[in-house]
Amino acid sequence: MVQVVFALLLLVSRAVAVVVQDDQKFTCIPRDCEDVRDAGNTESGVYTIYINRKNAVRVWCDMETDGGGWTVFQTRVNGSTDFYREWDDYSLGFGNLNHEFWLGNQYLRHLTSSDWYSLRIYVEDFENETRFANYNVFTVANAEDGYRLFVTGYTGDAGDALLVGSGNRFSAKDKDLDTWAQNCAEKFHGAWWYKDCHRSNLNGKYLSGPTTTYANGVVWYDFKGHHYSLKSSKMMIRRGWGLLQGATVNP
């Protein structure tokens, strides 16, 4: 019964106006990269989506992974973008969509409050080994609730390092919303859904592999521990119905 209800909701939500953007004709206003894919776009790249069907936002769409249609909201590749930023930067987003960026917590909130989204995370070490984590449910609350995170339904081979952050608010160096007596974002040079403090810190300081400082760097503890800073990471979301129906979670 629950599956039938979600199917009907998805069908209703796909309805309908016509918009032309970047010389591409869409049969509906694209709210995310899944709509962009369904309009016939098969190449990964930058597209325009319409948050709440009205606010135009440029995003990177992954059209290659597991059938495509993924809206990417974080990428780290070489440390060229400073991720040690303030709350407002993380709310609005920053960086270069063709390189390193954070899409913006306000957009994550709007997207994940409109439908059921799944999260896919890829992490890579300096030995070029890649692991992934998938969460069947991913939501981000509003700013008044500190962009509180909720994830569940882990599968993958990277380890469930984000679960500790579930239920926690987003913290930045100028807005301490973690449960620790000190400021996790300041201590570990990042911004994240810290508790007291973290098992993952993908917005941490970009270092190069093994580190001597505890939990500092681009960290996914269950993959490489607290004394290793990763080479790259990617976080992306897609409406979760297909994954709940058994789509592959292999990279």
pLDDT digits (tens, 9 = 90+) for 135-188: 999 999 999 999 999 999 999 999 999 999 999 999 999 999 999 999 999 999
Phi, psi values for residue 61, rounded to 5°? -110, 125
Q: Does residue 24 sit within a domain?
A: no
Q: Does residue 26 sit within a domain?
A: no
Q: Does residue 157 sit within a domain?
A: yes
The residue-averaged pLDDT of 64-84 equals 98
User: Is 55 or 83 the better-scoring residue by pLDDT?
Assistant: 83
pLDDT digits (tens, 9 = 90+) for 15-54: 333 333 444 444 579 999 999 999 999 999 999 999 888 8
CATH of the domain at 38: 3.90.215.10
What is the predicted pLDDT for the residue at 188?
97
Task: Please provide the size of the chain in residues.
Answer: 251
DSSP lists the bridge partners of residue 150 as: 139
pLDDT digits (tens, 9 = 90+) for 85-111: 999 999 999 999 999 999 999 999 999
The whole domain housing 71 covers 33-247
Q: Does residue 15 sit within a domain?
A: no
Q: Does residue 23 sit within a domain?
A: no
Domain count, the chain: 1
pLDDT band (50, 70, 90) for residue 244 = very low
CA atoms within 13 A on the CB side of 40: 6
Q: Does residue 1 sit within a domain?
A: no
Q: Does residue 173 sit within a domain?
A: yes
Q: Do 12 and 91 form a contact (C-beta atoms < 8 A)?
A: no
Q: Does residue 46 sit within a domain?
A: yes
